[in-house]
Amino acid sequence: AQRVTQPEKLLSVFKGAPVELKCNYSYSGSPELFWYVQYSRQRLQLLLRHISRESIKGFTADLNKGETSFHLKKPFAQEEDSAMYYCALTPGGSEKLVFGKGMKLTVNP
């Protein structure tokens, strides 16, 4: 069965510090990996996906198939990055999205 693990529930950093939100997955095939974000009082939205290979709001994520990881990184966190972050995967050929349990990032001034 597919599984997405976000090992940390909470992360609190100061503005300007680097952040890394960890995500590991278990799936034997070729998944599609995503990071979704939910800002306070806003709906859940896509942040980035591995096939796009782009940086969004300064965030990047690299799919490491050997380590089955898709960690989200940003070199200098901003207060507006405070949000809930969810890692998710779509198993190959499936319409479904499997979410991790989420991680709350707080960036302090």
By C-beta, is 11 or 97 nearer to another protein?
97
Give the integer Cα–Cα distance in Å for 73 and 17.
Answer: 11
Centre a 10 Å sphere on the Cβ of residue 97 and count the other Cβ atoms it contains: 15
By C-beta, is 96 or 109 nearer to another protein?
96
Q: How far is the CB of 44 from another protein (least distance, A)?
A: 4
Which residue, among 76, 40, 41, 69, has the nearest Cα to 55 in the 3D structure?
Answer: 76
Give the integer Cα–Cα distance in Å for 105 and 103.
Answer: 6
Q: How far is the CB of 39 from another protein (least distance, A)?
A: 12
By C-beta, is 34 or 70 nearer to another protein?
34
- The site for another protein (CB under 8 A) is made up of 9, 32, 34, 36, 43-46, 49, 51-52, 86, 90, 93, 95-102
By C-beta, is 77 or 98 nearer to another protein?
98
**Chain CA centroid to CA 71, Å:** 6
Contacts of 43 (CB under 8 A, 6+ apart): none
Q: How far is the CB of 97 from another protein (least distance, A)?
A: 6
